[in-house]
Amino acid sequence: MTKIGVFDSGIGGKAIADKLEKLFPSAKIISVNDSKNVPYGGRSRADIIELTEKAIQPLINKKCDAIVIACNTATTNAINDLRQNHPDVHFVGIEPMIKPAAKLTQTGAIAVFATPGTLKSRRYHQLKHQWAARLTVLEPDCSRWAKLVEDNESERIDINSVISEVKRWNIDVIVLGCTHYHHIKDRIERAAGRNVHVLEPSDAIGARLDELLPTDFAPLE
């Protein structure tokens, strides 16, 4: 049986694992998180690398056919190290969808909702430089969101004020650059309104796994 490992610092991974269970009903989805050390978003790069490496050990030991790093913070800071340390493992990372957002925007202004750890990573700066150099990219302070979602207190997040702040710049795309925010996607979409696209990568992850996994392994049509 094909085994797909899913890692996130916390409950962001659940949003992705649920989706993968629907897309790949014949696979075994094995999820791990690091509830002891979540959130990762305010930590140093060195910490994020060390914690991620430790947390994925059960997935490595179980010899998963692919491991999804369902965490933008861990992907943007640690995936190169993980790939170097485990050259025989297929890692699929999740990083902010700057390229699709850049293709989609008509107004030339987008907003990225992500953790401080993602926003200050070298990988994120590369993505912005490569795809969004001519765009206005707003990065509102969402630094408390992952913890509030993790603690099941997401109703305390003042989504409306963040959305109205970014809408003043005429943005037409919001990138969900943290898997914890998938749990509040509906509220974000409602607050953003019909003219704003809200992007998150779960379908793209499904497509990438489909390419990677053995050919006798058929996803649900």
Site string for ligand DGL, 63-92 (x = CB under 6 A): --------xxx-------------------
Task: Report the residue number, 77 or 105, with the smaller CB distance to ligand DGL.
Answer: 77
CA 209/CA 217 separation, integer angstroms: 10
The DSSP string of 5-49 is EEE-SSTHHHHHHHHHHHH-TTSEEEEE--TTT---TTS-HHHHH
Residue 200 sits in the site that holds ligand DGL (CB under 6 A)? no
CB 177 within 8 A of CB 150: no
Residue 121 sits in the site that holds ligand DGL (CB under 6 A)? no
Which of 39, 93, 201, 206 is close enough to bind ligand DGL by CB under 6 A?
39
Task: Report the residue number, 23 or 178, with the smaller CB distance to ligand DGL.
Answer: 178
Neighbours of 54 (CB within 10 A): 11
Residue 38 sits in the site that holds ligand DGL (CB under 6 A)? yes
CA 61/CA 21 separation, integer angstroms: 21
SS3 167: helix
178 catalytic residue (yes or no): yes
Residue owning tokens 């943007």: 76
Which of 146, 171, 198, 213 is close enough to bind ligand DGL by CB under 6 A?
146
Q: How far is the CB of 149 from ligand DGL (least distance, A)?
A: 8
Residue 110 pairs in a beta bridge with: 137, 173
Name the E strands within the chain: 3-7, 28-32, 66-69, 91-93, 109-114, 136-138, 173-177, 197-199
Q: How far is the CB of 127 from ligand DGL (least distance, A)?
A: 14
Task: Report the residue number, 116 or 219, with the smaller CB distance to ligand DGL.
Answer: 116
Residue 41 sits in the site that holds ligand DGL (CB under 6 A)? yes
Give, as ranges, the residues between 156 and 195 that touch ligand DGL (CB under 6 A): 178-180
Known catalytic residues are 71, 178
Binding site for ligand DGL (CB under 6 A): 8-10, 12, 38-41, 71-73, 115, 118, 146, 178-180
